[in-house]
Amino acid sequence: MRTLWKYLLLISLSWIGTGWAEPIVVRYPRAESLDDERGEYGYALLQLALAKAGNKYRAELSQTSMQQNRALVELQAGGGRIDIVGTMTSIEREQVLLPVRIPMSRGLIGWRLGLLPVQRKELLRGVRKLADLRAFSTGQGHDWPDLRILRHSGLVVYPVAVYSSLFGMLNAGRYDWAPRSLNEIWGEARRHPELAVDQHILLHYPTADYFFVNRNNPALAENIRQGMELALADGSFEHLFYLHYGPGIRRANLDQRVLIELPNPLLSPQTPLARKELWFSLSDLSRLR
């Protein structure tokens, strides 16, 4: 990720001397472990958005690492330990927190590949439709919206209490496979060489990861929204997206897989699905060739 941080350094240096007073410090949750890369892109995008909006706010990582559910509880409580969380949306989350409805990873979190034990890496080779997939059990975080999305389509899903346990339980055979998003799976496979990425299917359901803030802080939400819109307009949002996720998307060979579409019963009617520029689609693969 050195290239990503060099890019952010250039962003921050370009905004030095903008004339703002001392920025307001806002805190973003530190990843659950030192080798957990899931938060890097979100933190980078947040810094980009705040810079584009004029550096009224300055993002810092929380002093301690946090599981996702704890970060959301802290954010809702409003005690100041966490001011912003980037996470997958649901109707319930949008009711108790204030979302910035621009998908952080352009909906990539809803594009899923299978993670399997190495010795069973061909398990899903024969899957051609959803009914075939229902024969295999999977695991997801007990508080993740994905758990309900997958169960809604009739998949057998075992809840996992702690993110780091997902991989050991998978390798131990507690369930057959784990669908992981394109913006997560390659780092997870690298950290867990006993697991392999399935090469045969592509699961997709419409969803988004948003920046969420406390409902009593609409000024921060609006600042982030303005910065993200500016980054969209000048291309820096897309540049950061492909800088971070482009290699993994290319590596996945998405157009050579069996695509299985699932509905998302947790999607809010306010989701900006009509803004096509906000979402990754298979037609975008031509940009990576």
pLDDT of residue 17: 46
pLDDT of residue 16: 46
End-to-end CA, the chain = 22
Alpha-carbon distance 117 to 96, whole Å?
38
Alpha-carbon distance 240 to 238, whole Å?
5
237-287 pLDDT, tens digit per residue, is 999 999 999 999 999 999 999 999 999 999 999 999 999 999 999 999 988
pLDDT of residue 273: 96
pTM score, whole prediction: 0.88
Give all domains of the chain, ordered by start, each with its CATH number. Answer: 2-107+207-246+276-288 (3.40.190.10), 110-204 (3.40.190.10)
Query: Is 35 buried (19+), middle (13-18) or exposed (0-12) by CB count in 10 A?
Result: exposed
